[in-house]
Amino acid sequence: MNPFARTIPDRGPWLPARDRRETDTTAPQVLVPAETAPSAMKRVLIVDDAATVRLYHRDILEAGGYAVEEAVNGVEALEKSLRTPFDLYLVDVNPPRQDGCGFLRALRGQDLPQAPAIMVSTGAAAHDRKLAQAIGANHYLVKPVQPSNS
C-alpha cells in the first residue's frame, strides 16, 4: 500500500492529490480515491496565455481529482498533445502564436485518440459558439467560468 494513502471509513484507501503549494501548510489537503492516483488520473490540458486563468482552472480541476498540464498557446499545446494525448482539452480562443481555433483544427486533423475539447472565451455571441462547434469543440464556456455553472 502507498505510504501516503489514508483510509477513509467506508471509502477505502485515498491518496493526497498533487498540490503545487506543498510548502503552504495552511492549504487544505485534497484527497482523491487511490484508484485515481496519478497513474490512473484523467489528464487535462489547459491552453491559455493568461497565467491567472490557467491557475484558476488548474485549482478547480485538481480539486476534482484531475491531473493537469498547461500550455500558453496552440503550438505548445499541439506539441504536448502529440507526445501524450490528453483526456480533455480546455482551450482559450485567443492565445498568441496559434489561437485556440487553430490548435483545435490541427489537433482534430491528427491521427490520434480524440478527446473532448471545451472552448473558453469572453465572446458570448451565438456565432462564437457555432464557430467553436464547427472546428470540433464539444462544449463552449464563457469566461469567467464558475465551477457551479459548468
pLDDT (tens digit per residue) in 71-120: 999 999 999 999 998 999 999 988 777 888 899 999 999 988 899 999 99
In a domain, 25, yes or no: no
Q: How many domains does the chain have?
A: 1
pTM of the full structure? 0.70
For 3-17, what is each residue's pLDDT tens digit? 444 444 554 544 444
- Say what the pLDDT of residue 127 is: 86
The pLDDT value given to residue 126: 87
Domain range for residue 81? 32-149
Beta pairing class for 43-47 and 67-71: parallel
Using only C-alpha atoms, the chain has a radius of gyration, in whole angstroms, of 17
How far apart, in whole angstroms, are the C-alpha atoms of residue 24 and residue 50?
A: 23
Query: CB neighbours of 73 closer than 8 A, spacing ≥ 6?
Result: 47, 49, 95, 96, 97, 98, 99, 103
Q: How far apart are CA 32 and CA 62, in angstroms?
A: 10
pLDDT at 150: 52
Q: What is the CATH number of the domain that holds 132?
A: 3.40.50.2300
Q: Which of 141, 97, 98 is nearest to 119 (CA)?
A: 141
- In tens, the pLDDT along 35-84 reads 444 557 899 999 999 999 999 999 999 999 999 999 999 999 999 999 99
Q: What is the pLDDT of residue 16?
A: 46
Round to whole Å and give the CA distance between 54 and 131. 23
Q: Count the neighbouring beta carbons within 10 Å of the beta carbon of residue 49.
A: 16
User: What pLDDT is recorded for position 5?
Assistant: 46
1 belongs to a structural domain = no
Residue 9 included in any domain: no
